[in-house]
Amino acid sequence: MATTTATLTISSDINTDALALTTTHTANKAGTTTGLEQTTGLAKKLYATAQSNATLINAGDYADNTASRVYIKNTGSSSLDYFTLELGASNIVLGRLYGGDFAYLPYEGEQDIDISSTGTNMELEFMVIHEGA
């Protein structure tokens, strides 16, 4: 059985009370304790020109994969150029990924995940961890 575990650690000195948070998640098939067994593999995609609503992850490839997880990272270092993550045909904005930023999201495979970008020669790395057919 496959096991995929994600750990997020957040620490901060924003205020007088130090913040130290660590949480761990094991990605399982929907309604089970069986791990997700398939992945697209970690891929990188270079966009030579600025993009507008370009499909990064096609929902049709993951229909009925209700427990999938998506990892997306802007591999650049720019504090000015960013990718916008968008969901579905209406391109609902989820947020921006500036240089070094990443997202780890649950994914049901109902809507495409699209991106728009602000600059040239920008690179993303991404992976879908999913249930399979």
Domain residue spans of the chain: 28-130
The three-state DSSP-derived secondary structure of the chain is CCCCEEEEEEEECCCCCCEEEEEEEECECCCCCCECCEECCCEEEEECCCCCCEEEECHHHCCCCCCEEEEEEECCCCCCCEEEEEECCCCEEEEEEECCCEEEEEECCCCCEEEEECCCCEEEEEEEEECCC
What gap in Å lies between CA 46 and CA 69, rounded to an integer?
A: 22
Mean pLDDT of 78-93: 95
Where on the phi/psi map is residue 82: left (φ > 0), alpha (ψ -120 to 50), or beta? beta
Q: Which CATH architecture has domain 28-130?
A: Sandwich (2.60)
- Tell me which of 57-61, 114-118, 122-126 is least confident: 57-61
The pTM for the full model equals 0.91
Q: What integer pLDDT is reported at residue 68 of this predicted model?
A: 92
Reading the block at residue 19, the tokens are 């913040």
* Mean pLDDT across 58-87: 92
